[in-house]
Amino acid sequence: MTALLKRYDNDTSHIDSGDTAWILVSAALVFIMSPGVGYFYSGMARSKNAVSLVFLCMVAMAVVSVQWVIWGYSLALSDTASNPFIGNLSYGLLLNVGDKPHANAPSIPGNVYAIFQCMFAALTPALALGGAAERVRIFPAILFCFVWTTIVYDPIAYWSWAPKGWMYVMGSLDYAGGTPVHISSGFAALAFSIVLGKRKGFGYEKFEPHNYLNIILGTSLLWFGWFGFNGGSAVASNGRAGMASAVTHIAACVGGLSWSLVAYFRNGFKFSSFHFCSGAIAGLVAITPASGFVAPWAALVFGAVAGIACHFAVDFKERFGYDDALDVFAVHGVGGLVGNLLTGIFASKAVAALNGSEIDGGWIDHHWKQFGYQLAGSCAGAGWSFAITVLILLILNYIPGLHLRIHEDGEISGTDVAEMGEHGYKYATIEPTAFGRDNASLSGLEQGNARPATLTFEDNEASGKSSITGPGSQEKVGEIEK
């Protein structure tokens, strides 16, 4: 890398227009993953929290992009820094970037590499916020994204990808973000869920997805964007980019099938679109660190192991009593660990050589130390993310006006109304507090899963009350005082 940096330091003659075009397209593909996460999360949540989750994912992208310009890119990927832990400010405000290639991407302009990597950084805290869904205030969450990216994501990205980063120098392999993106967001979500505490009703109410179509749409956008996420990490348009795209798709397919089959036998012999989508994302997460290092046959193993392991990891929250609302730790934390460790086994010299790169490979190339390198990098990323996230959250909670958890009434009414004053759906959602919590006919509505139907209000002069009737004249759902 140092030789490449010296070679191209002031020379743009080796910039390739095809490589540049592919990375610009890849940046756009990764961008679409932010609303993809939002729709996936909104479908998993109750209807009264749907808008705020999509909004948080989009605003996280905006906040982190500003942070990336100010100092994020320089701290995370400086190729002029000499220490092994964090970059310098040589690229602060994106000064000195321009057309000059980065050491990691010698055939494209530096500004193209910067915007491509910006999309990775913007996606990561949005993933982490899923652990706090349905009970986090928006303003502190926005501030959290800026601070967390600076002191959690940027250092881990530097360790993994910068030419002087200690994990990179050690020999840890991470092609597209197993540790900086998935392990860091998964363990941050775990910390978030523990510090905020459980949602009201956790443990005795059944929280179910309110919109399976949103889940499918979000998964489709994520799957589509992942071709740029992994394929673009070759930072060139070549055979290695093609291989990374191929194994990405294979792992997603097998992950979805393996999770679905396990769930089929565990849950009454019924298939679920939700299970297939969760498994597909687990496969995508696991293949991420390995996508530029493994052959297609190995992707079958990644998808199968990730789908099964992440499925059973969902059970952890009930067994250990933490409320990771949207299973971020199970899918991204555990899936990232699975992918990193399997990379130590299946990384191949031959695949890396598709673009002229040289690695020692994993166990299949008789390089037995690689698994240890992968384990060390995974533990470092997980430990740093969890510990620093807890510290950030505790500090924010003690600052006036920045308490993280929404008030109880806001949690009952939903974050969409309480934090934004907006509804995701134009039909009535009645909170049971208006009628008493023992009214069995409103138990479904308490979940925030109101039926999309017209409610009829009829005045009764004799009683002085208005009766509320649902779809069909016989379905009376309550009364209110006039």
Q: What is the pLDDT of residues 71-104, one digit of tens each?
A: 999 999 999 988 999 999 999 999 999 899 999 9
- Cβ neighbourhood burial of 426 (10 Å; 0-12, 13-18, 19+): exposed
* Confidence at residue 182, expressed as pLDDT on a 0 to 100 scale: 98
Residue with tokens 């498994």: 279
| Torsion angles phi and psi, residue 232, rounded to 5 | -70, -20
* Confidence at residue 201, expressed as pLDDT on a 0 to 100 scale: 87
Domain boundaries, the chain: 2-235+357-398, 425-481
The pLDDT tens digits of the residues spanning 302-327 come to: 999 999 999 999 999 989 999 999 99
The pLDDT tens digits of the residues spanning 185-231 come to: 999 999 999 999 999 988 788 889 999 999 999 999 999 999 999 99
Q: Which residues of the chain fall below pLDDT 70?
A: 1-13, 427-482
* Confidence at residue 431, expressed as pLDDT on a 0 to 100 scale: 47
Name which of 212, 211, 287 is nearest 245 in CA terms.
Answer: 287
* Confidence at residue 427, expressed as pLDDT on a 0 to 100 scale: 59
Distances (CA, A) of 373 to 91, 169, 173, 344: 30, 11, 8, 8
SS3 57: helix
Residue 416: which H helix or E strand, with range? none
CATH code of 2-235+357-398, in short, is 1.10.3430.10
Name which of 241, 30, 183 is nearest 119 in CA terms.
Answer: 30
Distance CA 101, CA 365 (A): 32
- According to DSSP, the residues that pair with 136 across neighbouring strands are 405
Q: Is residue 158 within 8 Å of residue 85, measured between CB atoms?
A: yes
